Each structure stands twice: as C-alpha cells, then as structure tokens.
Amino acid sequence: MLLNMSMQKISPSKKMCLVLDTNIVMDMLHFADRSTAPLLEAIESGQIDALTDPECLTELQRVLTYPEFGLSTAAQTDVYERHKALTTSLPAAPCEQFILPRCRDSDDQKFLILAARAGADLLVTRDKMLLRLTRHRLTPPPCPIIKADETCRRLGLSR
C-alpha cells in the first residue's frame, strides 16, 4: 500500500522504502538533529529501508568535503561509511525514462529519479525546491515528498 498525501497511516504489513536526500543524511549522521532521530532508529532497526544509488553517494561524498561542516577526513569517511551501511544501494541505471517534474535545482533531480526507479514510498527532504514539487499538478512526483518530522508522524515513529 503506497502512502498518498493524506495523513493516512502506513500499513504495518509493508516495510517502507524511503529515499533520503543529502541534507537529511547530514541531519541524521553529522548534526544528530532531533527531528531525524526516530527515523534513524527505524532505519537502524530494520523497520524501514533507506535507498541510495551511486549518484546520491557521490553527492554525499562531495558535500562532506564542504569547509563549512569542518569535517576531518576521518569524520567524512565515518559519515559516508555509516550511510552506506544503513542504506540499500541500487545500481546505476544506464538510462532513466521517467515522466517526472523538473526540480529547479538540477542536483536534486537524482532523488526524484531514484524514488521513481525504486518505487519508493517517500522522499524525505527539507529542501524547499523539492518540497515545492508536491504541488506540481501536471507532472506529480513519483511519491510524496515530505520533511523528516512529518515522515516520523506519518509512520508513527517517536522518541
């Protein structure tokens, strides 16, 4: 049962598959943001599957080197390896042929493509440009695009 944009609860018989954009990964694994803690616990316990692919992993590697995060090479490696251990990585697809809305930030399109390709239930982000796509009427996103705190509420995750 796929989750629609309503406040409906997810069927407990189906394991959710989520795509996490890079800012959510950083919130969970670098900043230890409280709003992502229940989501991280659910992924760590195996209640939820988090998906990634080579393009998303490459972006995470790039973001981890940003000077504003002040991460040493060891800390970068730690976050990256922890993310890889928590996610199921799909192989790169040679050609993506999905009818998707276009995100104004082309760096975010990869998350929409991954969500479509994987049949993800949710794309979790705090990126305003991705969140705006939920209102795209002509070409809807492949799954709901929501923030981490809303994801936790919808999935009944709490601390």
Q: Is residue 84 predicted with pLDDT exceeding 90?
A: yes
* 51 contacts: CB under 8 Å, gap ≥ 6: 17, 18, 19, 87, 88, 89, 90, 114, 118, 120
Between 159 and 102, residue with greater pLDDT? 102
| 3-state class (DSSP) for residue 97 | coil
Q: What is the DSSP letter of 68?
A: G
The pLDDT tens digits of the residues spanning 108-157 come to 889 998 998 999 999 999 998 888 887 766 777 888 999 999 999 999 99
The pLDDT tens digits of the residues spanning 19-61 come to 999 999 999 999 999 999 999 999 999 999 999 999 999 999 9
Cβ(20)–Cβ(50) under 8 Å? yes
pLDDT at 159: 63
pLDDT at 136: 65
The span from the CA of 99 to the CA of 81, in Å, is 32
Beta strand pairing status for 16-20 and 48-52? parallel
* 50 DSSP β-pair partners: 18, 87
The span from the CA of 112 to the CA of 124, in Å, is 11
Residue identified by tokens 């609860």 is 9
